[in-house]
Amino acid sequence: MLRTAISRAKPELPSQATVYPAANRSERHTQDMFGIHFTGHPDNRKWTRHLAWSRRSYPLRKDFPVQGEPQAITPPDNGYPFIKAHGAGVYEIPVGPVHAGIIEPGHFRFQAVGELILTREERLGYVHKGIEIKRHIDKKFSGSIAIRAVDAGSCNGCELEIHALNNPYYDIERFGIHFVASPRHADVLLVTGPVSRHMQTALLRTYEATPDPKWVIAIGDCAVCGGEFGVSYASCGAVSNVIPVDMTITGCPPTPLALMKGLLGLIKA
């Protein structure tokens, strides 16, 4: 790791993008989020910084307010200096804004001749990759929240959706949310399935082993109401029949996006 000191009054660093092209976007992103100016950068246009932020607001600085800034309508990027390609047969293809689930929205412009793409420009930063949920986690949980998943008798359908939270597409750990192997390290219990009689004692012990304050989230229809199994000689039914539940997320199974929205709703409550 390389560390360097910069002036708070005039934060500047020499750009490495001219000798290491892969640093181009990283430096532009750092400039937008932290306000560090990279001298000699070949392209110092704003990239992920939208126009609703005040001039001297940098969202990833420690002095940026946890609650964010007052809501504002983002002005259109009418004055943004998009790179233009000129010539016979060149046409422009605007795309977006694209809202792809939890991934930040983006606006793209392509310059093309037939099927040949000459340039591609993007405008990002309208929602900064889960920064809202990250702010709440930083405020309430000192930067991270630990989850222990408990299968109390499910068919594993909900588990597959929970596992997807850690794949490269959803990548929930980037928000400071991670799964742990022991309830003694957990802040939240995610419980799936109707609680089978064989798992009743194990679920109670897991709940008691989780330190206070703790939250319990029932995941999927079976955990919420017992589903098609209900209460019987083999099933206790809903999770709430065994331990207190703070939130329910319905679905058979609920999608990873629904799980993330539920976690955000609980954290903000």
SS3 label, residue 109: strand
- Mean per-residue pLDDT for 51-68? 72
Query: Residue 216: CB partners within 8 Å, gap ≥ 6?
Result: 188, 189, 191, 207, 239, 243, 244, 245, 246, 247
User: Which letter does DSSP use for residue 1 in this model?
Assistant: -
Cα 267 to Cα 145: distance, rounded to the nearest angstrom: 10
Q: Which residue has the tokens 């001297």?
A: 56
DSSP secondary structure, 133-199, as one string? HHHHHHHHHTT-EEEEEEESS--SHHHHHHHHTTSTTT-GGGGTEEE-S-GGG-SEEEEES--BHHH
* Contact present, 148 and 180 (Cβ < 8 Å): yes
How does pLDDT run across 16-55, given as a tens digit for each residue?
Answer: 998 988 888 889 888 888 889 999 998 888 777 666 666 7
Please determine, for residue 104, whether its predicted confidence score (pLDDT) is greater than 90: no
Look up the pTM and report it.
0.55
pLDDT of amino acid 129:
47
Give the pLDDT band of residue 99 (cuts 50, 70, 90). Answer: low
Q: Does position 121 have pLDDT exceeding 50, yes or no? A: yes
Phi, psi of 230 (to 5 degrees): 60, -150
* pLDDT score of 245: 93
Q: Using one digit for the tens of pLDDT, what is the confidence trace for 233-263?
A: 999 999 999 999 999 999 999 988 888 888 8
Query: According to the model, what pLDDT value does residue 191 have?
Result: 95
Residue, of 196 and 87, whose pLDDT is higher: 196
pLDDT tens-place string over residues 127-143: 544 555 666 676 667 66
Average pLDDT over residues 214-230: 91
pLDDT of residue 126: 58
Q: What is the SS3 assignment for 249?
A: strand
Strand partners, 151: 192
Pinpoint the residues of the chain covered by CATH 3.40.50.12280: 131-268
Class of domain 131-268: alpha beta
Neighbouring residues of 21: CB distance < 8 A, sequence distance ≥ 6: none
